[in-house]
Amino acid sequence: MFKKSCIERSLALLGREGLQIFRIDQSEHKIVKLDVVSKLTFIKIKLTLISSSPYTEATICEVLRLSSFVPLGIFHRTLHDTEFGGFIIRKGTLVLANLYSAHYNPDKWNEPERFLPERFLTPSGEKAKNPPYFLPFQVGRRQCLGESFAMDSLFLFVTSIFQNLKISPYIKSEMLDLEPISGILRIPKPFRVKIDSRQ
């Protein structure tokens, strides 16, 4: 069940944000040029390549930030009266972490609506440490236990796709609707793309 959920999440993220990769700033080509084609062409994709693929790793982080797949996280309940930020939160109160707000806060992210993987890179092009307000896997002691597995799966999935396939809009002039269907989850609307082999 966990593996199935992780794969579905990966597909949903790529479904929505993969469209942005080739629509905005042609970032898909940057990924291929910087990480996959120049270093990884004809090499079997494996996890040991993460350290030599900073732009791909940054792109995955930006996809997770922009998608905010679970915008309000998982519901929690206080076990006892708690003081937080000068407020008293009574025992049994339902608590939500607004992850969407953290990921789109203009005080924390420059131009938060833009797809900009470079925000996760150092000036020298290395992968930067993720800031504390980057919360795709929840926050606190109850954050997702599968974070490492999910990130590894996304890396393998994304690099394998971009190493072997070229993804482009199905109709060149067609503007793809990137607004998700919002609810408890933010899922991509149906879309069409053209997939060609790079070989």
Asked if pLDDT for residue 82 goes beyond 90, the answer is yes
45-54, 106-115, 127-136, 180-189: range with lowest mean pLDDT: 45-54
All domains of the chain in start order, with CATH: 2-71+100-197 (1.10.630.10)
Query: How far apart (Å, rounded) are the C-alpha atoms in residues 110 and 2?
Result: 34
Using an 8 Å Cβ cutoff, are 139 and 73 in contact? yes
Rg (CA), the chain: 18
User: What is the distance between the alpha carbons of residues 96 and 137, in angstroms, rounded to a whole number?
Assistant: 14
Cα–Cα dist 139/116, whole Å = 23
DSSP 129: P
16 has a pLDDT exceeding 70: no
Convert the pLDDT of each residue in 34-74 to its tens digit: 554 444 455 677 777 777 788 888 888 988 898 888 899 88
pLDDT single digits (tens) 116-140: 888 999 998 888 899 999 999 988 7
